[in-house]
Amino acid sequence: FSSMSNRRPKVYVTRRVPPDGLEILRPHCEITQWDSEKPVPRAELIRQIAGKDALFCLLTDKIDGEVLNAAGPQLKCIGTMSVGYDHIDMTECRERNIPVGFTPDVLTNATAELTVGLLLATSRRLIEASQSVREGGWGTWDPCWMLGHGLDGSTVGVVGLGRIGMAVARRLAPFGVKRFLYSGHSPKNEANEIGAEFVDFDDLLSNSDFVLGCCALTKENQGLFDKDAFSKMKSNAIFVNTSRGGLVNQTDLYQALVNHQIAAAGLDVTSPEPLPTDSPLLTLKNCVILPHIGSATEMARGAMSALTGRNILSFLRGEEMPCRIK
């Protein structure tokens, strides 16, 4: 901490988090923490960040110009305990020369696994079937009852074949998927490993039996899955989103599901979060909704916390962050 005289840098942590990251920071930094399972109220964040050298935040904290101004010019870096960073105004951070660390890779396997689980729960109607057993709806074995859609021989379309999209595709291949399609900015070399074909978004929609939202949320792809997109999908299509709720126009999704324009949807992410309990989507049997638990394993969350701690500490020490947003 040569440039920081003798004082220990001050770090503000916006939530109760797995201890791994705090253990990394504590010997070297003075930590102030919003020690709660609920997000820090914005006014409190703005009050507490004043005078801090670093911010350890989560995807539930909106980090914009107002927060950065409240911090003051001594704020040196930000570490978000997430791979997604749509909650951070990167333009404002760049203008102030504040690097932002994030947590790619360490949550890829956990999130890919959850995506596969959600896909199967949706396509094979697991929640609906289990519920019917509890409700006495299980009459007898019925050859025409609770039929779903299998992966064997199917075409899977991955929107955004990045780290997580690729990990999902690798896990789905052994189920007998016939074709993988993907869309995005540009073709990817890794796609060859699973023989995935780079296609435009519309082709992906019209040819896929499973459409998976695996891309990061940006200003450009807000509401990408809208009425128009759902109208291009096959009537047997299963739509799964484990990325960000902002990719989906939920009113349009509701219409597509209620009119059986597509078969079903599995969402681990919604907009807003939490999804209000009176959301029309929750009235649908062909919609499985999970509370944003993609990375929720002990191992992934511990590693995310640790990497956030390392990102912050490295930068404060004048070293490269292990994982810095470009």
- List residues near ligand DGY by CB under 6 A: 59, 82-84, 107, 294-295
Is 260 an active-site residue? no
State the nearest-atom distance from the C-beta of 84 to ligand DGY, in Å.
3
Nearer to ligand DGY, 124 or 292 (CB): 292
Establish how many alpha carbons lie within 13 A of residue 208's alpha carbon, considering only the half-sphere containing its beta carbon: 30
Identity of the residue, 183 or 308, whose beta carbon is nearer to ligand DGY in the bound complex: 308
Q: How far is the CB of 124 from ligand DGY (least distance, A)?
A: 25
Quickly list DSSP for 158-209. Answer: EE--SHHHHHHHHHHGGGT--EEEEESSS--GGGGGGTPEE--HHHHHHH-S
Residues 6 or more apart whose Cβ sits within 8 Å of residue 135? none
How many CB atoms neighbour CB 24 within 10 A? 20
CB of 307 to ligand DGY, least distance (A): 11
CB of 292 vs ligand DGY, minimal distance in Å = 6
Residue whose entry in the numeric block shows the structure tokens 């009459």: 139
Dihedral sign, Cα of residue 95, residue 326, residue 162, residue 268: negative
CB of 101 to ligand DGY, least distance (A): 12
Q: Between 243 and 250, name the residue whose CB sits nearer to ligand DGY.
A: 243
- Strands 10-13, 30-33: parallel, antiparallel or unpaired by DSSP? parallel
* Sheet containing 54-57, strands listed edge to edge, beginning at the edge strand earlier in sequence: 30-33, 10-13, 54-57, 77-80, 100-101
- Residue 123 neighbours by CB under 8 Å, 6+ apart: 148, 149, 150, 151, 210, 238, 263, 264
54, β-bridge pairs:
11, 77
CB of 86 to ligand DGY, least distance (A): 8
Instruction: Check residue 237 and report its DSSP letter.
Output: -
Looking at beta carbons only, is 79 or 294 nearer to ligand DGY? 294
Tokens of 32: 């102030």
In this complex, which beta carbon is closest to ligand DGY, that of residue 257 or of residue 303? Answer: 303
Nearer to ligand DGY among residue 9 and residue 246 (C-beta): 246
Q: Which of 28, 185, 260, 292 is catalytic?
A: 292
Enumerate the active-site residues: 292
